[in-house]
Structure 1
């Protein structure tokens, strides 16, 4: 699969080995873009107890990724124009590794939040720029290559969700060691980027070419396409980070064990492994992705209603439904790549859609945490999430129409 993509992708000015190197860097980096978040959910109860964290603050913690992605991600195109895309991604991976390594060592909530933000800030830069890398190195295979790296992303998310609790248990029932292990995994993504950086500087300019018109997010603010993508991206991010942060707790409150809750959560990520590639490839073949967006939202609504009515009645079914719905993320990334006609446009659209979208998603997890703390049940939060999923459906239908920038 990847071999065919690399062989058929022809980009001027590249050595034959460069697509392989770029694909390796994409995959290794993507694997490490979610463990910082998905490893936390299964041990959140232990982290809260050890650090003295309230449910509302825990809800804030689940919003930290969205905040970092919104605030830091918007700077990615400007940094890329100054230092080069590959250099900025390398810096992002360094920040991610440092944040993952240091946050388990602290003893207070504030320090834990700050160091989490360091790692997540690194992810924010990478999130925005990986679609640019795909457009630069694989301009004729945007959909399939987006599917490849989002599949790798889901592999990392699934592994972190499934392995963190057993890993922590094996390391002396220490959530700190369980979380810290993912810093070692993140360090593996550092290796290919210095090599790719040297090669890319030898074959192309450091900066991403951009038109003379304004190149920041403001230049996208008048585009209905960009806004539809931003709203769709923001609402799918709200759903994703609530699921990452709170789904294991929903199942634990329903009477299931921590290990079972972790496995159920892992199912939501595991489904993204095959579906990410399928959706990416399918999105690239279709003129409109509206039907795909609506279908994924329908799965999400069904999953939330199942948790609302009988959370322990069919937990595996609810996890499967929500796992399918979570594949809105690779669909959103594919649509970003497909709507831009070149790497510069994709970079600006990616920065606007992701930064604005993540900014819109910030209140969601906090509201869910606050509702849970004040009501003591999951009824209010699940009704709230069901309504948001219906709005996501409408935004996805609008974003999926064939209206390239």
Structure 2
């Protein structure tokens, strides 16, 4: 089944909300998406400064890099159940409230343990938001999946781009606590918007509430028994492995190479900005592709060139940041696949929760092992070769196997659109 046919099988007349509900939903989706990465990227450029004050070393930096993946793994798997109980709009409101509260409170943390705990609270909100937004897009905009996937990913990238660009300069002027806590206002604003959307969806003034997406009601088999879901989770995991390794360690890699902290932060922003440019076209290309392998292979090639460049010629880091941005845009591709490879909002919720939950669990080792191996060997060569290079090889193999688009509903039923029996890997 071609991805474009997924939209065609959706009953648009039964799910298309009224215009006012769609406008508020659009604004709420954008505001929520802006928060999904800034919880991470607003902290990573400041870890050297905070570490100097609190007295923690490289291993603790790796723990901070692993925290997002722990949150995304745990709440990726449980968010569908929360959505069934609260409804998707209320879940989105809760996610933004947690993100905002965690961010403002961690700015007052007196020690490393408290900072870790409150960062975990903020990341819990971001993890809930990661899972709930794709099915909300499918619920409110089933006829505009490519456009809204692009809007969501642009917002995520903007939210990831600006914090590292301004974090160090703002900390130098106002202190790291102000630089860290000021971003909470955006999450709290998103919480208010989703609260209004939640109230409106039950009053008839906006969209009539669609049934809460189910974690598995739309599937013929439990999602954990579907091979396609595991392959997508592994691909998402390898992409996320590298995204968060770079968010966590690229500033340290560059400062070790002799660049200033401000320069290192700006290179994270350049990487994210480049990913944003590719992300503008990635959803449309992914939705239309009859074979997604060339798209993924291009991004993996960008990662490989970028890592090699940073390792061997760090003086040309702006060039390598561009290639790393090409690789990071694979996050857009894998997120788009969640909606492209589901025919219903229930299927999207099930696939979103499983792929992000299991995939983030797979990715847990990336930031932590990258730093730990560097500390044990006294350099970054082994980290580049084993942690970065190994993950790229795994992603390359999985992307080739899972190259033909089809839906999770069809996979759960055992249908084989566009596939030969030998390519199933026990679906």
Which residue is equivalent to 1:143? 146
- Is the contact made by 1:18 and 1:196 (CA closer than 8 Å) also made in structure 2? yes
Query: How much has 1:29 moved relative to structure 2?
Result: 0.9
Query: How much has 1:400 moved relative to structure 2?
Result: 3.6
Distance 2:402 2:135 in 1: 19
Aligned match for 2:212, one of 197, 200, 208: 208
Distance 2:360 2:374 in 1: 22
Normalised by the length of structure 2, the TM-score is 0.88
Which residue is equivalent to 1:115? 118
For 1:255, what is the secondary structure of its paired residue?
Answer: coil
Distance 1:128 1:284 in 2: 19
Query: How much has 1:298 moved relative to structure 2?
Result: 0.8
TM-superposition CA deviations, 1:68-91 (whole Å, max 9, x none): 111122111111111100001100
Which residue is equivalent to 2:396? 393
- Is the contact made by 1:271 and 1:324 (CA closer than 8 Å) also made in structure 2? yes
Aligned match for 1:305, one of 301, 304, 308: 308
Query: How much has 1:210 moved relative to structure 2?
Result: 4.4
Moved more, 10-19 or 303-312: 10-19
- Is the contact made by 2:37 and 2:159 (CA closer than 8 Å) also made in structure 1? yes
Which residue is equivalent to 1:37? 40
In the alignment, structure 1 residue 157 sits paired with structure 2 residue 160: yes
In the alignment, structure 1 residue 74 sits paired with structure 2 residue 77: yes
- Cα RMSD of the aligned pairs, angstroms, is 1.9
Which residue is equivalent to 1:4? none
In the alignment, structure 1 residue 222 sits paired with structure 2 residue 225: yes
Moved more, 204-213 or 344-353: 204-213
Correspondences of 1:21-36 after superposition (within 5 Å): 21-36=24-39
Correspondences of 1:227-306 after superposition (within 5 Å): 227-306=230-309
Query: How much has 1:141 moved relative to structure 2?
Result: 2.1
- Is the contact made by 2:80 and 2:213 (CA closer than 8 Å) also made in structure 1? no
Which residue is equivalent to 2:361? 359
Aligned residues: 393
- Is the contact made by 2:81 and 2:214 (CA closer than 8 Å) also made in structure 1? no
Distance 1:12 1:245 in 2: 40
- Is the contact made by 2:338 and 2:351 (CA closer than 8 Å) also made in structure 1? yes
Distance 2:166 2:378 in 1: 29
Distance 2:215 2:38 in 1: 36
Which residue is equivalent to 2:422? none
5+ residue gaps, structure 1, are: 1-8
- Is the contact made by 1:80 and 1:207 (CA closer than 8 Å) also made in structure 2? no
Query: How much has 1:177 moved relative to structure 2?
Result: 1.4
Which residue is equivalent to 2:379? 377
